[in-house]
Structure 1
Amino acid sequence: MEAKELRIGNCIDFNGMLCVIEEIDGQGVVVDIAESQENEWIDLFQFTPIHLTEEWLVKLGFEKSDSLSNCTKTTNGYKFDFAGGEVLYLDSVRLKHIKYVHQLQNLYFALTGEELTIKS
């Protein structure tokens, strides 16, 4: 993963722990480790992206459809619709394959101006 793919607030995985990026430099990131509430600097090669799953979509505020195998979220006039795992439709137009949580967070922010964060 490259630093240019990341933004402050992105969720990543470090040794099986959920981390939220607090700072970014060319070599690594400073993260808030959710389990320990501690900040730690991590080299870019030490963490991995989080695969986008139905569970993650729900954590990010998407609603699971009862009749279809998709998750949706409507905000600022946009309807985000994930079908078949990683295909994103925006207002019924197929956009792209999204594989990772940070990719969805970045696209969501670019389109809405709002952060996509984990819902409590």
Structure 2
Amino acid sequence: MARAATTSDAFNAIAEPQRREILALLRGGERPVTELARDLGMSQPQASKHLRVLREVGLVRVRGAGKQRLYGLDARGLRPVHEWVGGFEAFWNGTFDRLDAYVQDLKQDKAGESTDDDDR
């Protein structure tokens, strides 16, 4: 019996750490599977399986170059991930703004204590 597909969208595909590593390597440009496998410390068949998943969900493109197949990043497939993560931007901005205000208050309190000590 055939196994069910391990992924169906970009979120599932990037849930696997080795696939994220492949995407990170491909940010630098196209690479053949043999280079990717070597740099990731995995066999060529393992790398090929990950590349197939990434290709099927639209995160990687492949083109023939002589006898080699070169894999490249297709970041357009990451748009849903980017949009989802972007929804948390307001949360993080608010959190960092509150942290900055807290640090500034601490600095002012510390400066006030130093001035009080000097007056004594």
TM value normalised by structure 1: 0.22
Query: Which protein has the bigger helix share?
Result: 2
TM value normalised by structure 2: 0.22
**Higher RCO (Cα < 8 Å, 6 or more apart):** 2
